[in-house]
Amino acid sequence: MVAPRQLKGATPIGSVRCMTRSPRRLALALLALAGTASVPASAQISADSVRQRYDRQSKGAGVDEWAHQVNSDDPMERLKGVKSLSTSTDPAAVPYLVQCLGDPDMRVKAKAIDACGTARAADATPVLIQQLFLRGTDPELKQRILASLGKIGDQRAAKPIMEFLGRDLDHATRGTAIFALGDIADPDSIEFLEVFERTEPDPTLKRIANEARAKVRYQQTIKKTEAQEPLNTFLRPDPNAPPQQ
């Protein structure tokens, strides 16, 4: 019987069978074939382009571009800029977000308020408090401000929020303000929350005040523990150490 003619340059059948018995050899062979294949120029990504993209993100070039958007006359462009700035971890984005807190477009302002809270931008605290007390600020926007102040956790906001709760507010805004005090965890708010819980007739608000007070006490306990741990670690006597003379 005549053996079948083998094509020129083809891998012998016996060699393929041999390689399939060894997964490692087969993988090496496939990698060698892939390395010889030509890649279209349009699909190639140069190392320089990757480096440039990284430098653009890490060195804040993106923030400069988004800052240009938030200064646009088009509110949709400003909104797009704020959304982009809200995704940045660069501290250079914070001043532009604070700037947008005074934007005349409610959509831009609302997004900036949320973004400042997510970024925990303490620099935004004075501006947010100022807008909280403005009579022209929409009640829904005030709730956003309170939620943002709670996320930021700047204790400078605790006293103004307690003063704000002395105003004639709707149920939802009062609840959001109490919740924010719990997140801020200022120890000076504990007594205020106790009085609020004792004098507030609404059971839901009483419960929120009780939970907020518990949260403040819990956070204060953690801080005290963290402050004492290094001293205990360094000053705790070693039981294996020889007795001092």
Query: Both 132 and 205 in a single domain?
Result: yes
Query: Both 83 and 144 in a single domain?
Result: no
pLDDT tens-place string over residues 4-14: 455 454 445 44
Point out the domain boundary residue: 119, 142, 157: 119
Tell me the helix, strand and coil percentages in the chain, rounded to 5. Answer: 75, 0, 25
Give me the half-sphere count of Cα atoms (radius 13 Å) on the Cβ side of residue 118. 15
Do the Cβ atoms of 212 and 181 come closer than 8 Å? yes
24 pLDDT band, cuts 50/70/90, is low
- The verdict on residue 42 lying in a domain is no
Would you give the end-to-end CA distance of the chain in angstroms? 100
Query: Both 87 and 158 in a single domain?
Result: no
Query: Both 103 and 142 in a single domain?
Result: no
- The verdict on residue 47 lying in a domain is no
CATH number (domain holding residue 99): 1.25.10.10
Point out the domain boundary residue: 80, 102, 119: 119
pLDDT tens-place string over residues 182-211: 999 999 999 999 999 999 999 999 999 999
CA distances from residue 237 to 225, 240, 245 in whole angstroms, order as listed:
19, 9, 15
- What is the tally of structural domains in the chain? 2
Do the Cβ atoms of 209 and 197 come closer than 8 Å? yes
User: Which domain covers residue 130, as residue numbers?
Assistant: 124-232
- The verdict on residue 113 lying in a domain is yes
Kindly state the helix (H) or strand (E) to which residue 207 belongs, with its residue range: helix 203-235
pLDDT tens-place string over residues 35-88: 444 444 444 445 444 444 544 444 445 899 999 999 999 999 999 999 999 999
